[in-house]
């Protein structure tokens, strides 16, 4: 069984934490992954830095730029992740954009993901039609889940199609905006969460974008299986990337 499926079978109030590979320092990737697991994160989402991200806010964009300046590439990331499964047992996803994956080679990319123990991929700019035609076969052959995103503007018909074609979970984007830590729950979000929850989808859901503290995390957990936190954790790494700092951060989010 894919590790993502196992977590949703065993856990509630799942915390998935995003961080950028190669940030703050090039060799920090596996160290931060291990620290997050020890701190109590249930799932990890490792960002593959890209110079032209479409869904990332300024905090994550800045971390990606610094990681690229540090020398992070997809090949470098796979080299780092060779030792991942010696230290990390929770699910690990890679999040990135389709152009670098195409340049690397989709079959080669999936083979490397399987080799190092990647469980799922989040590629926000990968169209459904292109995924079904060119990617799905490679993903499924290697047991890798493809995670689609939905937003408040996504139609019910589209959500049900995504549910049909998804594996692992559905990424419920909390608002029609880029990533970024926001205080509190914005107007209209609860109605949107309720609408998605009432659809009785087959796949579990995690809410992301704007999850920044214990309040927003617990609110998300009332309407989904858990939440994804990214920008707030990148800010934590800016201030204190030590194991102790990471542990305090996760504890404060989960409560």
Active site positions, annotated? 45, 56
CA–CA–CA angle 192, 197, 200 (5° rounding):
140
Question: What is each CA distance from 150 to 144, 190, 207, in whole angstroms?
Answer: 20, 15, 10
Residues in the chain: 255
Query: What secondary structure, in 3-state letters, does the chain show?
Result: CCHHHHHHHHCCCEEEEEEECCCCCHHHHHHHHHHHHHHCCCEEEEECCCCCCCCCCHHHHHHHHHHHHHCCCHHHHHHHHCCHHHHCCCCEEEECCHHHHHHHCHHHHHHHHHHHCCCEEECCCCCHHHHHHHHHHHHHHCCCEEECEECCCCCHHHHHHHHHHCCCCEEEECCCCCCCCCCCCCCCHHHHHHHHHCCCCCCCEEEECCCCCHHHHHHHHHHCCEEEECHHHHHHHHHCCCHHHHHHHHHHHHC
């Amino acid at each position: 069984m894919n590790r993502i499926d196992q977590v949703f079978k065993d856990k509630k109030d799942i915390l998935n934490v995003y961080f950028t590979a190669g940030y703050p320092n090039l060799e920090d990737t596996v160290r931060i992954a291990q620290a997050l697991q020890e701190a109590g994160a249930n799932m990890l989402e490792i960002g593959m830095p890209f110079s032209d991200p479409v869904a990332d806010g300024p905090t994550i964009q800045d971390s990606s730029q610094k990681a690229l300046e540090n020398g992070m590439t997809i090949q470098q990331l796979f080299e780092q992740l060779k030792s991942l499964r010696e230290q990390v047992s929770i699910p690990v996803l890679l999040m990135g954009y389709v152009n670098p994956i195409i340049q690397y080679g989709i079959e080669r990319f999936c083979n490397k993901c399987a080799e190092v123990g990647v469980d799922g991929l989040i590629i926000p700019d990968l169209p459904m039609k292109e995924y079904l035609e060119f990617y799905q076969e490679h993903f499924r052959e290697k047991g890798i889940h493809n995670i689609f995103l939905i937003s408040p503007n996504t139609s019910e018909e589209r959500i049900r199609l995504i549910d049909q074609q998804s594996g692992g979970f559905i990424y419920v984007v909390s608002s029609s905006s880029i990533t970024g830590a926001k205080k509190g729950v914005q107007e209209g979000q609860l109605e949107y969460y309720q609408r998605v929850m009432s659809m009785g989808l087959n796949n579990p859901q995690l809410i992301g974008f704007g999850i920044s503290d214990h309040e927003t995390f617990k609110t998300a957990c009332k309407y989904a299986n858990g939440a994804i936190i990214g920008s707030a954790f990148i800010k934590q790494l800016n201030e204190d990337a030590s194991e102790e700092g990471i542990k305090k951060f996760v504890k404060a989010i989960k409560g």
